[in-house]
Amino acid sequence: MDPLTCVPLLREAHLALVAASGALFAVRGLGVLAGARWPLHRALRVGSVVIDTLLLTAGATLWGLLRLDPLRDHWLASKLVLLVLYIVLGSWALKRARTTSARALFFVAALALFATMASIGWTRHPLGLWRWF
């Protein structure tokens, strides 16, 4: 079987995992901002890691099958840089920031980066939807 026949299925899995990861982060972030303790429960943290690991695995597999190169495919380079920033901001939003207002700021910034990464993947342009502004 030709590995490229798996691309549509991997792409759908990647998109579903993007949605699951983003939704879980958003719900947990809102919970943290509301002062709840459940967003930091071990099961949710492990679930988040599992989803994100599967997401990265699907993305890396697509990267290999489609022979993408961040040095050539600048949209992919943008997504990878923003992914690192998103992880840092998300960490501050959920547990590292000391005040609720700081957590809210990091949360909104992380969500904005998440949306930007999604738009970059959709448009295959380094600026995503921002290119029209």
pTM: 0.93
Task: Look at the block and give the residue holding tokens 């947990």.
Answer: 28
Per-residue pLDDT of 10-54, as tens digits, reads 999 999 999 999 999 999 999 999 999 999 999 999 999 999 999
pLDDT at position 3:
81
What phi and psi values does residue 34 have, to the nearest 5 degrees?
-80, -5
**Domain extent listing, the chain:** 3-132
- In whole angstroms, what is the distance from residue 116 CA to residue 133 CA? 13
pLDDT at position 76:
95
The full length of the chain comes to: 133
pLDDT at position 4:
84
Describe the chain by its helix, strand, coil percentages, rounded to 5: 85, 0, 15
**Does position 114 have pLDDT exceeding 80, yes or no?**
yes
Per-residue pLDDT of 50-98, as tens digits, reads 999 999 999 999 999 999 999 999 999 999 999 999 999 999 999 999 9
pLDDT at position 101:
98
